[in-house]
């Protein structure tokens, strides 16, 4: 359902990423998201980066709506809908590896908090690493990768994940990040015979499984996802290859 909440905290995570905190009692699972309304601008999906009584979103400024969210200050009101989506199912897994690319870390933090699992946080360069301090509070092993080698492992998060999978016996990999990264993460997990659950993105309007604009094959990313397991991902021909624009037209990803 929807609620108008007051911003009670604002933290800078990196040069283009902020976390906004607010009090909201709605029950939420790790991996769920909300639709955030910025009056006069847009309404966009954002994962919950905290899911207790105090909740948060962590937003990278990439365009009009996300930059407008950055303009919100402590004391301002914001209207949210949700929480939506199915989230990660992490109850049964014992040895979990979380793999985050860029702002995808936001979606993984609640699961990392709940399980204390090993974590890889990847970014293009040192200045873009976010939420590693939060991850370190909950898990013993937090590894960093940067594409340019400015901090931690020199390479991308999937390459680092492959190394860790070879060394340790994981039974689940959870991931969130750019789709191409997730596509290769899914492949790496299959090669290593490890289950995975990955959080995907598509253009969203209703967020509630009604309008059908966020379809990947026959699944709704907003309602059947945004987290999909290995087998669902195996069957998705759109995964890593196609998305749709606001009109429903197909856009090829590669």
Ligand X SMILES: Cc1cc2nc3c(=O)[nH]c(=O)nc-3n(C[C@H](O)[C@H](O)[C@H](O)COP(=O)(O)OP(=O)(O)OC[C@H]3O[C@@H](n4cnc5c(N)ncnc54)[C@H](O)[C@@H]3O)c2cc1C
Ligand Y SMILES: Cc1cc2nc3c(=O)[nH]c(=O)nc-3n(C[C@H](O)[C@H](O)[C@H](O)COP(=O)(O)O)c2cc1C
Q: Which residues bind another protein (CB under 8 A)?
A: 1-2, 4, 35, 37, 39-40, 42-44, 77, 79, 81, 205-213, 215, 217-218, 220, 223, 244-250
Q: Do 67 and 36 form a contact (C-beta atoms < 8 A)?
A: no
Instruction: Enumerate residues 206-225 that contact ligand FES by CB under 6 A.
Output: 206-207, 209-214, 220, 222
Structure tokens belonging to residue 228: 């999909």
User: Closest distance between ligand X and the C-beta of residue 122, in Å?
Assistant: 15
Smaller CB distance to ligand X: residue 49 or 115?
A: 49
In a 13 Å sphere around the CA of 51, the CA atoms on its Cβ side amount to: 25
Alpha helices in 53-104 (DSSP H): 64-70
User: Closest distance between another protein and the C-beta of residue 243, in Å?
Assistant: 12
User: What does the alpha-carbon distance between residue 129 and residue 14 come to, in Å, rounded to a whole number?
Assistant: 7
User: Closest distance between ligand Y and the C-beta of residue 170, in Å?
Assistant: 40
**Stretch of residues binding ligand Y (CB under 6 A), selected from 82-90, 204-212, 214-222, 239-247:** 204-212
Smaller CB distance to ligand FES: residue 177 or 225?
A: 225
Q: Considering CB distances under 5 to 8 angstroms, the limit depending on partner class, which of ligand FES, another protein, ligand Y, none binds residue 147?
A: none
Structure tokens belonging to residue 191: 């090669």
The residue number whose beta carbon is nearest to ligand X equals: 63
User: Closest distance between another protein and the C-beta of residue 35, in Å?
Assistant: 7
What residues have CB less than 8 Å from 13, skipping those under 6 apart? 19, 58, 130, 131
Measured CA angle at 85 (ends 244, 197), to 5 deg = 85
Q: Is the dihedral of CA 3, 4, 6, 10 positive or negative?
A: positive
Q: Do 65 and 88 form a contact (C-beta atoms < 8 A)?
A: no
Can you tell me which residue has the tokens 């601008």? 41
Question: Which residues bind to ligand X, rule: CB under 6 A?
Answer: 33, 42, 44-47, 57-60, 62-66, 103, 106-107, 201, 203-204, 226
Question: Which residues contribute to the site for ligand Y (CB under 6 A)?
Answer: 206, 210-211
């Amino acid at each position: 359902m929807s609620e108008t909440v007051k911003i009670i905290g604002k933290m800078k995570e990196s040069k283009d990423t902020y976390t906004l905190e607010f009090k909201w009692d709605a029950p939420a699972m790790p991996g769920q998201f909300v639709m955030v309304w910025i009056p006069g601008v847009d309404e966009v999906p954002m994962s919950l980066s905290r899911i207790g009584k105090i909740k948060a979103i962590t937003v990278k400024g990439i365009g009009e709506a996300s930059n407008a969210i950055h303009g919100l200050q402590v004391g301002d009101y914001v209207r949210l809908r949700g929480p939506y989506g199915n989230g990660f199912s992490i109850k049964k897994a014992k040895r979990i590896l979380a793999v985050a690319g860029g702002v995808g870390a936001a979606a993984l933090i609640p699961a990392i908090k709940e399980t204390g699992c090993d974590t890889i946080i990847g970014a293009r360069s040192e200045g873009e690493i976010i939420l590693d301090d939060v991850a370190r509070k909950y898990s013993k092993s937090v590894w960093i990768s940067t594409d340019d080698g400015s901090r931690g492992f020199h390479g991308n998060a999937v390459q680092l994940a492959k190394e860790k999978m070879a060394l340790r016996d994981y039974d689940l990999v959870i991931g969130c990040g750019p789709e191409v990264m997730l596509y290769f993460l899914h492949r790496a997990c299959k090669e290593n015979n490890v289950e995975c659950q990955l959080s995907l993105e598509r253009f969203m309007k209703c967020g509630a499984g009604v309008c059908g604009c966020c379809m990947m094959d026959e699944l709704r990313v907003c309602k059947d996802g945004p987290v999909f397991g290995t087998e669902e991902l195996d069957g998705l021909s759109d995964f890593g290859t196609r998305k749709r624009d606001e009109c429903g037209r197909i856009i090829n990803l590669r």
